[in-house]
Amino acid sequence: MKITLKDGSVREFDRPMTAREIAGEISEGLARAACAAEIDGEVCDLRTVIAHDAELSILTAREEAGLRVLRHTASHVLAQAVKRLYPDTKLAIGPAIDDGFYYDLDFAKPLQAEELGAIEDEMKKIIKEDLPIERFELPRKEALAWAAAQGEPYKEELIRDLPEGEAISFYRQGEFTDLCAGPHLMSTRGVGKAFKIMSMAGAYWRGSEKNKMLTRIYATAFAKKEELEAYEKMLEEAKKRDHRKLGRELQLFMSDELVGKGMPMFLPKGYTIWRILENYIRDKEIKLGYQHVLTPCVGTVDLYKTSGHWDHYQQNMFPAMEVEDEVYVLRPMNCPHHMRIYANQPHSYRNLPVRIGEIAHDFRFEASGTIKGIERVRHFCQNDAHLFVTPDQIRDEFSKVVALIFDTYKDFGITNYRCVLSLRDPADKVKYHDDDAMWNTAENALREVLNELKLDYTEEIGEAAFYGPKLDVNVKPAVGPEITLSTCQLDFCLPARFQLTYIDKDNTERTPVVLHRAILGSLDRFMAYLIEETMGNFPVWLAPVQVKVLPISDKFMDYAEKVTAQLEEAGLRVELDRRGEKIGYKIREAQKEKVPYMLIVGQKEEEDGVVSVRSRSGGEEGRMACGEFIARVTEEVRTRKQN
C-alpha cells in the first residue's frame, strides 16, 4: 500500500496496516494534525480505516476535505456540550458547511443568546479532555432501540428513513454518542482552540414549515487561530458592505411583511439605479440585434409541462392556481413564453438567428430561511434572452454572448471572475432531461466553442440546467463566496419539445438550437453585488443622486435654484438642499448619502457666477464655473468612469 504525506512524499508498505499502525509510521506532528484519510477519492476516518491496495492520502485541516472533518467533529463537541448543560435537549442534525458548522437542537425551553458563552466554555472542556472518538455500527433494530432508549425522536426518524440493508454507524466520545455517517477526528482534542460559536437562529426540522421549529446554533472552526481571526475580520468587513444595511441607510429598497417575504420594493433612489441598469443593458442588446418583448408573469401548467419545468423544476415554483377551466402558475423563468413567440410565425435559415430579449419579472419559491435582501428573493427581474440559431451559428452567437459579458464587466469594473462549464450528472435521471445523445452533443459543442475561444475554464459535474449544459461566469466579490452573475446555456431539448422549426437551405424543416443567456443575471442580485462592491459609493454614472447643491443660507436660494436648473438641463441627477440647516450639517448629511459631488454656493460664488466643488473622494476641490463642472461630470458619465 502507499501513503501520501502532506509534503507530497509517498511511503510504500508491503502489508495491510490499521490506522493506528499508519499513525505510528508517520511523524508525531502529522499524527496529531491528521484529520482523515482519503482512499480512491473517498474521505474516511483515520482511526478506523484499514489499509487498501489503493493509494491512501493523509488529510489535515489545511485541505478542504480535512477541514470539513474537523468542523464535523466540532459539531459533535457542540452537541455534547449542549447535552451536558441541557440534558433534556433532543438532537437533530449537525453538518459541516462552507464557512463552519451548525447543529439543530430541540431545547426543552428556549435558549437565550447570552447562554451561548456557557456552551462554548463547555466545548473547551470537552476538547481538553481529549476524548477518543470511536465508530461502531448497529443493526437496524438495535439502532432504533438505541434512539428510543435515548429519547431521540429525530434520530429515530432518520434511522427509519435509511434504506434497508444500509450500514447504520454511530460515533462515541466519552458519555456522548451520535448517529452519524462520519468521518471524524481521532479525538476531541484535534478540534483545537480555533473555534467560535457565531449565532443562533430558528430552523424548521428538515426545512419544512409543516415541522417543528428547532434552534440552530451556528459556529465555525479552523486549523489555526490566525485563520479564525482572519475570518472574523472578514465578517466585520462583510457587515459594513451588507447590501441590506446599506439599502436601508441609503433608502434604496425596503421589505414589508404585509407585502410578503422575499418581495422587496424599490424606493425612488433604488429604482433610479434599477432604471439605469435596465436601460443600459437593453440599449446594448438592441444595438446587437435583439428584439425586446413583453410577456405575462403567469402561464398555464400545460405550458410548463410542455417545456419540462413541471417535471424537473416544480419544487421551485409557486402552487398552481385554478381559474375557471384553466390552471395557471407564476412563471419561474421566461423560456417557454419565448418559445411560443418564436413559434408564432414561420422561419427560414435566412432570418436566423432570432434574438428575443426581455427584462422579465419571475417568481420562484424560496424557503424563508434562504431569503436575503434583494440577493435571493421570491420575485425578481431577469435580464433574459433566447437566441434561436442554426447549428452552424452556435459558435458565432456564443462568441458574441461571451464578448457582451466581458464588455459589460469592463463598464462595471468587474475583473475578478472565472468561467465554469457546467455539465449534467449522467447518473441523475430525475434532475436532467433523459437523453444521453442530446447531452453528449450539447456538451461537446459547448466545450469545442470554449476551446476555440481559448477561454480558461473549469468543468463542474451536476451544475447544468435540466435541459442543457451552460457557461457560468462566477464573480468573486470583495467579501464572501463567489456568485454567478452571467450565464449562457446551450439547449437542444426545449426547441424539440415545442416542435420549433425553420426551413433550411435544402427546403427541409429543421429544429433550431437555442442559447439561453443572461448578462446581468437578475437585476436584483446584480444591484446587491454593486452595493456591496462599492459600499454604496456608486460611480457617478450609476449614482441615484449625482450632485447636491448646498446653499450656505436661504439668502442664496435663488442662485442655488439657478445652478440646479443648469444641472438638470444638462441631464444630471441633482438635488437642492432647501433645509435651513448650517452648511456643515448639510455637507455631513450629503456624505452619509454618499453623493459623488456637492456644490456649495454662497455670496462669493453668486457674485463671481461660480460654484465651490466638494467631491466624495477628494474633499474640497476649489471653485469653477458651473459650465466647466457640468462638462467634467458629463464626461465621467459618458465614459462610465469608475471610482
Active site residues: 335, 364, 382, 384, 386, 470, 516
What is the distance between the alpha carbons of residues 468 and 109, in angstroms, rounded to a whole number? 49
Distances (CA, A) of 317 to 31, 259, 301, 532, 606: 50, 19, 11, 29, 60
For 374, list phi and psi in degrees, rounded to 5: -110, 10
What is the distance between the alpha carbons of residues 205 and 214, in angstroms, rounded to a whole number? 6
Question: 620 and 600 in contact (C-beta within 8 Å)?
Answer: no
User: What is the rounded (10 degree) CA torsion for 33, 36, 37, 40?
Assistant: -140
Widest distance between CA atoms in the chain? 96
What is the distance between the alpha carbons of residues 270 and 250, in angstroms, rounded to a whole number? 9
Which of 362, 381, 383, 410 is CA-nearest to residue 270? 381
28 exposure class (CB count in 10 Å sphere: 0-12, 13-18, 19+)? exposed
Other Cβ atoms closer than 10 A to 490: 26
What is the distance between the alpha carbons of residues 268 and 521, in angstroms, rounded to a whole number? 22
Core vs surface per residue 106-135: b (16+ CB within 10 A) or e: beeeebeeeebeebbebbeebbeeebebbb
The DSSP letter of residue 37 is: E
Strands 597-601 and 547-551 turn out to be parallel
Instruction: Cell numbers for 261, please give them.
Output: 417575504
| Cis, peptide link before residue 183, omega less than 30° from 0 | yes
